[in-house]
Amino acid sequence: MASRRAAEQFILTGRVSVNGVPVKLLGSKVDPEHDKVTVDGKPVRAQKKIYVMLNKPKGCVCSRKDEHDRMTVYELLPKEWTGVQSVGRLDYASEGLLFLTNDGEFALRLTHPRYGVRKRYIITVESKVDEEMLHRFTTGIWHDGEKLKAERAWLVSATKSASVVELELAEGKNREVRRMFESQGLMVRRLLRTQVGKIKLGELKPGRWRALTPPEIKTLISQV
């Protein structure tokens, strides 16, 4: 019905009732399954929680609106899901696993650095990557005043002209993976996120989404 701040004003001014009794104390708890909550006499109900995973294709953004009129990930979802937001972001050129939800607490726990939810990426770069560089990634490098660090890094394949690297990160700093390679003078050709926590992208095709199962949601929450 309203933003959190506006809802607090509803409560303080006595517009909210629980089981017919006005409640003015912020932080009062209710059981949405059994308690009847009204605002100005009109009933309100808990919003149905939505948890989906999407294989974000290259060439779309995670914003609701884009100043350059580029495609957004929300155009791939049902139009009635107006309250759904992406959990973290993948930039325009990046691909792979992206969660979307209308559960703010769930999103916070998957993105806040203190929870350390690990994410895996497969990166193709236009040069040969050696073990020394991978070691620098896991010990940490500085870029634009920030320390960037991978928890794990390993070489999948390499030729003289290109390398495929897999990284596992516990933080989600802006463009962190690309910046790590840029700091070494390497250009990223492709960046694909394959896993968040214990949930893998699997066979989900680019541009497609599916609902997370209750066991998958429980698994993600239990990790944090």
Q: Residue 113 has what pLDDT? A: 86
Q: Residue 212 has what pLDDT? A: 97
Q: Residue 24 has what pLDDT? A: 93
Q: Which domain holds residue 90?
A: 51-114+203-222
Q: Choosing from 31, 35, 66, 91, which is the catalytic residue?
A: 91
Residue 125 shares a structural domain with residue 191: yes
Residue 173 shares a structural domain with residue 190: yes
Q: Phi and psi (nearest 5°) for 7? A: -65, -35
Residue 85 shares a structural domain with residue 107: yes
Residue 142 shares a structural domain with residue 179: yes
Q: Residue 184 has what pLDDT? A: 94
Residue 75 shares a structural domain with residue 9: no
Greatest extent of the chain over all pairs of C-alpha atoms, in Å? 73
Residue 108 shares a structural domain with residue 125: no
CATH number at residue 93: 3.30.70.580
pTM of the entire predicted model: 0.82
Residue 101 shares a structural domain with residue 207: yes
Residue 208 shares a structural domain with residue 105: yes
- Judge whether 103 counts as a catalytic residue: no
CATH number at residue 126: 3.30.70.1560
Q: Alpha carbon of 64 to those of 38, 70, 73, 145: distances in Å? A: 30, 10, 8, 30
Residue 122 shares a structural domain with residue 192: yes
Q: What 3-state DSSP class applies to 79?
A: coil
- The DSSP string of 45-64 is -PPPP-EEEEEEPTT-BSSS
CATH number at residue 21: 3.10.290.10
Q: How many domains does the chain have?
A: 3
Radius of gyration of the chain (CA): 21
Any idea what the Cα angle at residue 146 is, between residues 142 and 148, rounded to 5°? 60
Residues of the chain with pLDDT under 50: none
Residue 80 shares a structural domain with residue 109: yes
Residue 164 shares a structural domain with residue 55: no
Residue 70 shares a structural domain with residue 169: no
Q: Residue 114 has what pLDDT? A: 87
Helices and strands: H and E segment counts in the chain? 5, 15
Q: What 3-state DSSP class applies to 33?
A: coil
The answer to whether 121 and 152 are in contact (CB under 8 A) is: no
